Structures are given as structure tokens and as C-alpha cells.
Amino acid sequence: MQATPRPAPVSAPFSAPTPALAPFTAALLPALVMFTLGLWGLDRGTMWRDEGTTLDVARRSLPEIWHLVHRVDAVHGLYYVLMHGVLPAHPGEVALRLPSVLAASAAAALVAALGTRLARPRVGLWAGLLYAVTPIAGHYAQEGRSYALVAAGAALTTLLLVRAVERSGPSVDRRAWCAYAAAATGTALLHELAVLLLVAHAVTLLVARVPRPARRGWAAAACVTCVLLLPLFVASGGQSAQVAWLVAPDGAAADRLLRAFAGPTRLVLVGQLLLAVVALRPPWSGARRCAHSRPALSLCAVALPLLVVPPAVLLAVSQRWPLYQDRYVLFALAGLPLLVAAGADRVVRGVGAALRTRPGDPPWPAPRPWISRGRTAVAAVGAAAVGVTLWWQLPLHRHDRAFGHDRENPAAAAAFAAREVRPGEPVLYLPLLARRVSLAYPAGFRGTRDLALARSPGSSGTLYGVEVPPTELRRRLAAVDRLWVLTEPPALRQARRAGQGAEEAKLAVLKREFTPHVTYAVPGATLRLYVRR
């Protein structure tokens, strides 16, 4: 009897093609792009006023920082402590901004990880690259403030939310929700308005209709976060005078935020919005299903609330209590690249399906190895399209990194002081917060005499120090015949509108007893020599 021949073995490449794009690669490439763009033009030769505040406070001792946040700037307390730990003994602009560059790179990688987990690696790659090349992300990647760190923390918290929901079964996974609560708390401690992220996540869970254990886990984590943040809320509520300069936003503010997120140039703006609309068309394609039929969030259910809810809530609240600034909701930016990348993926899959099938054709057989290579090519073409977006917006990136493009140039004012003011000569700051120029660039004012200062910023627990009362100031002014005055005109106008008596006293004495002799003006500041009449 003749034996039946055995079937030829099927080679592994035909039965199980390798993944088209590794998740690690999808996260690494956006991080490298963001890091490269962040290093480009990092040392511009000047800092704006808030960066100068970061540098000054971070150089104080921990007891002095603790003393400060009890009186002012509690919202940035954790950030100041972190910067105190990472800055070298003699920090410069590069050291000041490098933590933000690293945080922005981490944010780009986390956005890519979100896209990979919620859809597929090429969606993650495109989303991470889009985040990295967005001009507003590059701007805050090069700023010595907390906003890039908050954006990274928000992306991590959102990723942990997805992970916790996927791990939800008949009971609550406490470890996953504890990690989520820890990340949410740390992010909000860097800036308290990041607590709006919890509202966005609540909307996500409502839209996705996750099972009750997942809702219970999120509610417990959110309650723990809010309880831990309660001291910060109380402290910052007593420091509301810091944001008294803010006004209620109008429709133009919302339009500026949209253009900052989707692209200031019209072509990029329209293209991104169209792809986002494609992603939002029903049915929403979800992530790969979890093992054991556990719930999985869809990309749109995560990205849309993240993009819309925090800005919308803050804009609405600011109509009654003005708190809105675009940088306060930078963390919401991550939602748009995810939607745009998902829309692009949907277009690619639709076109591919139309090209592969004809009416009456049988369905495709099992995957073949060349399909995997085609998917890699599609991912590369999408990455190249993001590169075109970067090229199109390159003038915006270049302008943002140009020296002196800001409305302030304290470094130039300090350079004038170093060249013109002789050691021992008196300097008067008008208004008080103009002292931040000398705090950011102390070398330019070394050896000068601060005429109005009573207590230094560090010892008084303030940002700019405590000045003598008007009567003592008049006595000190009466003893000098030659006086340098550093003025910040916008701040001075604001102080005069607020009716600050000390600033009015300075102006009255200068007008009555002195006459201007030499003036050096730079963007945002004026250094002027006065001599007695």
C-alpha cells in the first residue's frame, strides 16, 4: 500500500510575518525628533521674565523656597524644588531649559505610545511626530517653566488610564489605579490646572461606557488625587492676586488656541482638521481587543475629550474668574495629533481596501510577507508627510528661536547696566518687579546699590524683595545726585492702574527733583540715568 505523502512544511515568514513597525521604534523616533528640535537654538542669549524667576528661585535654598511658596507662587512649588535639584551651581540658559527639552521629548514618545496602544504602531509614529513638529510644542520645549513637564505628565497619566481600563476585570485592579493616581497627582502638583485632565478622563469613561469596576477604580483614584491636592488648592486660592492681570477670554482667544494646536499656517490647519474629522466619523475604530474580553478604549474616546474638555472648561470658567492662558492647557495638545494620525490611517486603509478589492473578487488569502513590507512603506510615507509639515512651518520654528523675537530682552538691559553703571552707584527699580532683571542677570548689576530694597527676595519669601516705605525712600533719594532707574513700561502702567502708592512716590520724586540725562531702551525695559536738577 502506497504511503500518503506528507504536505510540505510552510515556512515561518509566510505563516507569521513580522510586525511592520515595532512599538519601541514608533516611540523612539518622535522622541529623537523632539529632542533635536528642542536643542536647536536653545541658547538664544536672553530669558523672558518667568524664566528669570525660575532661575532665581531655583538658586535659593530649600527653606527659602518653602518660605516663598507659602506667600506666593505655590502653583509652581514642586517645579522650583525639582529645578533646585537639577540645576548646576552656576546655571545658564541651556541648563535652565534642558529639563523642558527632555520632558517634551518624553511627551512625544508617550503620545506615540498612546497611538500604538489605542490603534497600531504607525498611528503612534505619526501622532508622535506630529506632536514633535508642532510649533507650540517646540516653543514650550525651550522654556524654563513647568509646562512641558506638565504635558509629559498628562500623556503618561492618560496612558496609565488606558492601561488601567484594559486591566479591569470583575474586580478593581488596585495597582493600576494607584499608578494612575500617582501620575495624576504629580502632574497637577507641577501646575494645578492640570487637574482638568481628570475631567477629560471622566468624559472618556462616560463615552466609552466602560464596566462598573473600571468606573469605580477611576473614581477612587480621582478622589485620592483631589484630596492630596487640597493643600495646594487652598494655598493658591489665597494667592489669587498673582493672576489678577488676566482678563476674560473671548472668541479670539479660542481661535488662537486652535491655530496654535492645529498649525498657524492655513494649509496645515485645514489638513489637520480634515483628518481629525475623518477619524471622528462613526463607527469609531477601537484598539486591539484585550485578552479575556476585557474592555478597551477607542482612540477617539481618549483623544477627543483630552483635546476639547480642558480648554473648554477653562475658557468657560474664565468668563467669571479669569484664569485662562494657552500655556495652562498645553497638555491638551496631545489629543489632536492622535486624531490626525488616526484619520490618516483610516484614509490609507480605505484607499488600500479600494485598490485591493473589486466587485465579485474573493477575499484576500492569509497575509504574505510582502504585505508587511508594504505596511512599513506606508508608515515611512506618513512620516515623510509629517516632515513636509515641518518644512512648511520651518519659518515659524526659526522665528521662535531668533534672538530678540520676544517682547522682552532683559539680557540686553543687563548688558547696558554692566557697561554704563559704575560700582557703588544707586539703582532704582520702577516698578518693584523690574528688579527681576537684576535677579536673572546679577553679573550686570554687581557692585551697584539697590536704593529702595529693604529685604532681599530670599529672606523675605517674595519673588522680588520688599522695599522701604515711601518716607524712607524719599530720604534715601534726597541723599543722591545721580541715579540709574530701570523701568519696565508695561509693568509700570499696570502698577499705576492698580494705584500702588510706592510706585507713585518714586515717580513723584523723580519728576520733581531729577531730570533724565541718558536713556538706553531695549524691548520691554528702559535704563535711564537721572541727575538732580
pLDDT at 18: 43
Sign of the CA dihedral with 509 first, then 512, 517, and 522 last: positive
Cell numbers standing for residue 322: 479669569
pLDDT of amino acid 284: 67
Residue 41 confidence (pLDDT): 87
Q: What's the pLDDT score for residue 361?
A: 53
Q: Going residue by residue through the chain (533 aa), what tens digit of pLDDT does each one get? A: 445 554 444 433 333 444 457 888 899 999 999 999 999 988 888 888 889 899 999 999 999 999 999 989 899 999 999 999 998 877 888 999 999 999 999 999 999 999 999 999 999 999 999 999 999 999 999 999 999 999 999 999 999 999 999 988 777 788 999 999 999 999 999 999 999 999 999 999 999 988 888 999 999 999 999 999 999 999 988 888 888 888 899 989 999 999 999 988 888 999 999 999 999 988 765 444 454 455 678 999 999 999 999 999 999 999 999 999 999 999 999 999 999 999 999 998 887 777 665 555 555 444 444 444 557 788 888 888 888 888 988 988 888 887 656 667 888 889 999 999 998 899 999 888 889 999 989 988 999 999 999 999 988 999 999 999 988 988 999 889 999 999 988 778 777 766 677 788 888 888 889 999 888 988 888 899 999 88
Can you give the pLDDT at residue 221?
96
Alpha helices in 318-362 (DSSP H): 335-356
| pLDDT the model gives residue 12 | 38
Long-range contacts of 325-330 (CB under 8 A, 24+ apart): 325/246, 326/136, 326/253, 326/256, 326/257, 326/260, 327/140, 327/145, 327/147, 328/147, 328/191, 328/193, 329/193, 329/196, 329/257, 330/136, 330/137, 330/140, 330/147, 330/148, 330/150, 330/151
